[in-house]
Amino acid sequence: NAGVTQTPKFRILKIGQSMTLQCTQDMNHNYMYWYRQDPGMGLKLIYYSVGAGITDKGEVPNGYNVSRSTTEDFPLRLELAAPSQTSVYFCATRQGANYGYTFGSGTRLTVV
């Protein structure tokens, strides 16, 4: 049982390049989230989804886009990478309101 799988684990991007961070879950959870964690900071919500076809902005959505065509997949797209997007990105799912998140192992992104 894989849980939440994130790829790639590491990536170095040049300024202005684009990339997609992949997130796949096999727990059939409706709720999915993308967070970023900057050094010494808590996790900030980028985007979230309450089910296939439904997405919404979180606290720090600028520079990112998401889609949710299936229950399993919730990719995060960076169109024009900027140094401010250097961070560790975590994808998470949640079964419901009174359950904890299940996180993926993260993607460490460096923009140079």
Partner 1 sequence: DQQVKQNSPSLSVQEGRISILNCDYTNSMFDYFLWYKKYPAEGPTFLISISSIKDKNEDGRFTVFLNKSAKHLSLHIVPSQPGDSAVYFCAANVYGTASKLTFGTGTRLQVTL
Pairing of strands 43-51, 19-25: unpaired
From the list 11-19, 63-71, 75-83, 100-108, the region that binds partner 1 by CB under 8 A is 100-108
Q: Which of 27, 31, 71, 75 binds partner 1 (CB under 8 A)?
A: 31
Three-state DSSP at 20 gives strand
Q: Judged by CB, which is closer to partner 1: 28, or 42? A: 42
From the list 18-26, 43-51, 61-69, 70-78, the region that binds partner 1 by CB under 8 A is 43-51
Distance of alpha carbon 23 from alpha carbon 77, whole angstroms: 11
Asked whether position 96 contacts partner 1 by CB under 8 A, the answer is yes
- How far is Cα of residue 76 from the mean position of the Cα atoms in its chain? 5
